[in-house]
Amino acid sequence: MTAVFRDAVAAEWMRLRTLRSTYAFLAGAAVVTLLGLLLLALLIRTFDAAPPAERANFETVDPTVVVVPFVMFLVGAVAAASVTGEFATGSIGPALLAVPQRPLLFGAKATVAAGCGLVGGLLSASSTVAGATLLLGGRPAPPHPWPVWTDAVATVAGATLTVTVAAVVALGLGALLRSTAATLVTLGGLVLVAPVVASFLPPVWRLRCGSVLLPNLTAQFTGADGPYLLPPAGAVGVLAGYAVVALVAGAVAFVRRDVG
């Protein structure tokens, strides 16, 4: 890593943490995590109140399934804003005057976006899993999603990875669309709406489409017998595909088009 690139990354990191919006989105991610745990607490109360015969019918309750898509959206919004916010305010101009090598500047932004996704995803997933483990205590599986603690590690790793890729995808979308509103609508469609739409498809298509959707990949890393099709390696491949397509498309748009 050259000194010029290192300085560009440091500057992008500074840009991110000197804006209030960054903290607003991250606070949103924290709230979503807490809401996920609240939801779990309510389910546990129902479970505890149920007679033993009904308890056998309870399914596994993994709160990351609910929490992670929203965290993907909120952390992705931070990453997207590092491009769209600059185009909206024109501050991309001074940024490019300081670092006119566009591939290098885009690389710095992608590095910071990925870092933000990694840290945001890890914090949110690990606190969700830790909170859930505490709340579930000695209850059996199901509803306990991680009877062995190593299962929980796989879930945290998978969630962290998907949030990281979501941040990178958001950055690429931002560079392509340049508009905050358009980017957030597309990102929201991708991580929040598409899984719902897919669930209305006929069964075969529901499986095929649902399996490659970004938020549904998390469950497929762990190799747990979930409702989807991909083996862990396939899920990683699809995830890498998302990152590569978004980065290449974003980089080409960022490098080629006139600014200001």
Partner 1 sequence: MIVVTELTKRYGRRTAVDRLSFEVRPGVVTGFLGPNGAGKSTTLRVLLGLHRPTSGSATIGGRRYDRIRRPLRDVGAVLDADAVHPGRTAADHLACLARSNGLGARRVRDVLARVGLTEVAGRRVGGFSLGMRQRLGLAAALLGDPAVLLLDEPVNGLDAAGVRWLRSTLRALAAEGRTVLLSSHLMAEVALTVDHVLVIGRGRLLDSAPVAALRNRGATDVVVRSPRAADLATVLTGLGASVTPGVAGELSVAGLDPAVVGDAAARAAIPVHGLTRRGASLEDVYLELTGTEAEYRNEEGAA
Residues near partner 1, by CB under 8 A: 3-4, 7-8, 10-12, 14-15, 18-21, 85-86, 89-102, 258-260
- Complex with partner 1: residue 15 or 144, whichever CB lies closer: 15
DSSP-H helix ranges across 137-193:
149-177, 180-188
Rounded Cα distance between 62 and 50, Å, is 19
- Complex with partner 1: residue 146 or 254, whichever CB lies closer: 254
- Complex with partner 1: residue 200 or 256, whichever CB lies closer: 256
Q: Cβ-count burial of 53 within 10 angstroms (0-12 exposed, 13-18 middle, 19+ buried)?
A: exposed
For the CB of residue 8, give the shortest distance to partner 1 in the complex, in Å. Answer: 5
Length of the chain: 260
Tell how far CA 192 is from the center of its chain.
11
- Complex with partner 1: residue 26 or 212, whichever CB lies closer: 26
Written as six digits, the tokens of 172 are: 């690429």
- Complex with partner 1: residue 16 or 74, whichever CB lies closer: 16
For the CB of residue 129, give the shortest distance to partner 1 in the complex, in Å. Answer: 34
For the CB of residue 96, give the shortest distance to partner 1 in the complex, in Å. Answer: 6
Give the largest Cα separation in the chain, rounded: 69
For the CB of residue 174, give the shortest distance to partner 1 in the complex, in Å. Answer: 15
Classify 227 as helix, strand or coil. Answer: coil
For the CB of residue 195, give the shortest distance to partner 1 in the complex, in Å. Answer: 33
Classify 146 as helix, strand or coil. Answer: coil
The closest alpha carbon to 217, from 234, 200, 205, 201, belongs to 234
For the CB of residue 151, give the shortest distance to partner 1 in the complex, in Å. Answer: 42
- Complex with partner 1: residue 67 or 108, whichever CB lies closer: 108
**Cβ count near 60 (within 10 Å):** 14
Rounded Cα distance between 220 and 228, Å, is 7
- Cis-peptide, bond into residue 215, ω within 30° of zero: no
